[in-house]
Amino acid sequence: MSTRTPLSIDGVVPWPEDVAERYRRAGYWLDTSITAHIADQVARRPHNEALVDGPTRLTYQQLWDKSASCAQALLDLSLAPGDRLVLQLPNCWEFVALTLGCFRIGVVPVMALPAHRRHELTHLAALSEAVAIVVADVDRGTDLREVAQQVAAGAETVRTVLVHGELTASPAVGSIPERSLAACMDNPVRFDERAYEPAGGDLACLLLSGGTTGLPKLIARTHDDYVYNIRRCVDVAEFDEHTVYLGTLPASHNFPLACPGILGALFVGGRAVMLPSPAPERALRTIDAEAVTVSAVVPAVAQTWIEYQREHHLLTGTSLRVLQIGGSRMPDELAARVEPTLGARVQQVFGMAEGLINMTRLDDDPEIILSTQGRPVSEADEIAVVDEHGNPVPDGTPGALLTRGPYTPRGYFRAPEHNTRAFTSDGWYASGDIVIRRPDGNLVVAGRDKDMINRGGEKISAEEVENFAYQVEGVEMAAAVAMPDPKLGEKLCLYVTVAGGHEVTLDAIVRVMSDAGVARFKMPERLVVVDGMPTTKVGKIDKKAMREDIRARLAHENTGV
Ligand code: OOB
């Protein structure tokens, strides 16, 4: 247990002291760091395998040593406790070693997604005032080293670029020197661990919000709250030392990182297997080869695994016991196909980087598992389902979800204005989801009242895309809405009105966004030019009408009627 007082970082919204005290007294918050829990497992089973990435296999002791080397390298690069580091890596063992290295010395990783590009990374670095950025060399044809230099040019606090892979052969004059991440992994360790051990109240990491505003918000997760998040998820997902977890969604996402995910497997002495993509062939082969017992996927990925297995019968073993599915609403028909094809029980997970995690229990009745998104993982999670005036609605009636609890922070990082909208004055977080609470306590996600498109679990803020559309000449009004997609659930469709004499194309909009360095998954996939936007009675743009319009257009095209 740490005896240090937490570092104060400007812009982190704390829980009220009386609530914090209650969480401590109830044993929800232990005043321990994330890495202290993993250190226990290192001491207990140093020679057990902790992490697998292709041919690389690391025992608990080896992973621990690599993470210490990483921590030393960060200190040598003059990073100090409380400093932020933008972390963008594919799923690989280095991701884990570096994340643990950060945790051990109180450096705070900002969990960027692999798909992010200049636009998002610059924003994340500037908002967090990051002093370092870690990227892979090249990803899907983009030179991320170049992107990192652009980020450093746009966010002046960045003074270190760490690269996973090959360094730039001949860096441009004036660019920030690149360091090799590989060289950080075998550094002799000199720092005194006890002097750096974070306090429970210290910031552990900054997660990204699903995003309903122009640019992603950051969520400050403390060691206390994240440790509790992991412990509760470990219990409900029944992880233990025999767990072999396949990490195939991007590891920087809360779901595969900590619900219970990679960190959960390491908390209980299990093993995590890292895969950079959930593409079905390699994923199914890996499940067999590594005797994976559990994985976490979005519904769109579950569907590709089912289809692939039906056709190619790659899974021959019976190791896979549980498939956690979440991130977007799973159609009930899909849920019913998982166990017969993949041989794994379904665990629905309805969670958010902002905190609250709901899960079905492994021994729930099939009806609950197949048709609800589960219930909170903690008895201390407070849930309210309310109408548009904030009044509770009866069970069985759809309403907006509000929540509070020991791992749901009370505000976004450095976003005071947005916090007044997303949080009530008494600290409830309004998730923007419309849910039905059943009398048995399980929640069913019935829709949402936030302006976001959920593209197979990847969240896109409508406002962000609309802002880009307005940069295209001729666009008068723009509205981004979700259109149904059989594979991803939703895709982004953009409605525009156009000034006389102009022609606006989807290409032109996509070009503006790519030129600005926006992640590919946010690009609109369809453009609808209309004479006027439908409006509600009070004169607001009526997105519901547009969603119905695009649904009708697609149905018409598919049936040809
Ligand atoms: C997870 O986290 P985020 O932060 O990317 O997105 C949160 C939002 C929720 O507010 C909800 O709108 C949607 O994603 N969502 C679901 C869902 N799980 C998440 N909607 C319907 N059904 C579900 N099962 O997506 C996330 C974080 C931790 C664990 C699992 C998912």
**How far away, in angstroms, is 458 Cα from ligand 1 center?**
9
Residue 8 banded pLDDT, cuts 50, 70, 90: confident
Residues having CB closer than 6 A to ligand 1 are 210, 254-255, 259, 326-329, 348-353, 357, 373, 431, 433, 445, 448, 454, 459
> Helices 93-105 and 60-76 sit at what angle, rounded to 10 degrees?
60
* Phi, psi torsion values for 120, nearest 5 degrees: -70, -45
Cα distance from N-terminal residue to C-terminal residue, the chain = 68
Q: What is the mean predicted confidence (pLDDT) over 484-499?
A: 97
Residue 209 confidence (pLDDT): 95
Q: Which percentage of the chain shows pLDDT scores above 90?
A: 95
CATH architecture of 452-559: 2-Layer Sandwich (3.30)
Report the residue among 113, 229, 298, 328 best suited for mutation to probe ligand 1: largest number of ligand atoms under 8 A from its CB: 328
Question: pLDDT per residue over 414-465, tens digit each?
Answer: 999 999 999 999 999 999 999 999 999 999 999 999 999 999 999 999 999 9
Q: Say if residue 260 is preceded by a cis peptide, omega within 30 of 0.
A: yes
Question: pLDDT per residue over 289-337, tens digit each?
Answer: 999 999 999 999 999 999 999 999 999 989 999 999 999 999 999 999 9
Q: Is the pLDDT of residue 1 over 80?
A: no
Residue nearest to atom 2 of ligand 1 (CA): 352
Three-class SS state of 446: strand
Residue 211 confidence (pLDDT): 72
Q: What is the mean predicted confidence (pLDDT) over 377-386?
A: 98
Q: Is the pLDDT of residue 248 over 90?
A: yes
Question: pLDDT per residue over 46-80, tens digit each?
Answer: 999 999 999 999 999 999 999 999 999 999 999 99
Strands (E), 24-119: 49-53, 56-59, 84-87, 108-111
**How far away, in angstroms, is 457 Cα from ligand 1 center?**
7
Residue 3 confidence (pLDDT): 56
Q: Is the pLDDT of residue 236 over 80?
A: yes
Residue 561 banded pLDDT, cuts 50, 70, 90: low
* Phi, psi torsion values for 219, nearest 5 degrees: -115, 120
**How far away, in angstroms, is 326 Cα from ligand 1 center?**
6
Contact 158, 130 (CB under 8 A): yes
Contact 291, 452 (CB under 8 A): no
> Helices 93-105 and 34-44 sit at what angle, rounded to 10 degrees?
110
Q: Is the pLDDT of residue 521 over 80?
A: yes
- Alpha-carbon distance 237 to 262, whole Å? 13
**How far away, in angstroms, is 505 Cα from ligand 1 center?**
32
| Token output for 400 | 């907006």
Contact 343, 337 (CB under 8 A): no
The pTM of this model reads 0.97
Report the residue among 225, 350, 369 best suited for mutation to probe ligand 1: largest number of ligand atoms under 8 A from its CB: 350
**How many CB atoms sit inside 10 A of residue 393's CB?**
15
- Alpha-carbon distance 135 to 137, whole Å? 6
**CATH superfamily, domain at 17-432:** ANL, N-terminal domain (3.40.50.12780)
Give the residue extent of every domain in the chain.
17-432, 452-559
Q: What is the mean predicted confidence (pLDDT) over 2-23?
A: 89
Q: Is the pLDDT of residue 2 over 60?
A: no
Q: How far is CA 368 from CA 322, 348, 440, in A?
A: 15, 9, 9
Output the average pLDDT for the chain. 96
**How far away, in angstroms, is 212 Cα from ligand 1 center?**
13
| Secondary structure (DSSP) of 239-264 | --TT-EEEE-S-TTSHHHHHSSHHHH
- Alpha-carbon distance 92 to 134, whole Å? 13
**How far away, in angstroms, is 356 Cα from ligand 1 center?**
10
Burial 428-449 (b: 16+ CB within 10 A, else e): bbbbbbbbbbeeeebbbbeebe
Residue 317 confidence (pLDDT): 85
Minimum-distance ligand 1 atom for the alpha carbon of 448: 12
Question: pLDDT per residue over 209-232, tens digit each?
Answer: 987 778 899 999 999 999 999 999
Question: pLDDT per residue over 68-123, tens digit each?
Answer: 999 999 999 999 999 999 999 999 999 999 999 999 999 999 999 999 999 999 99
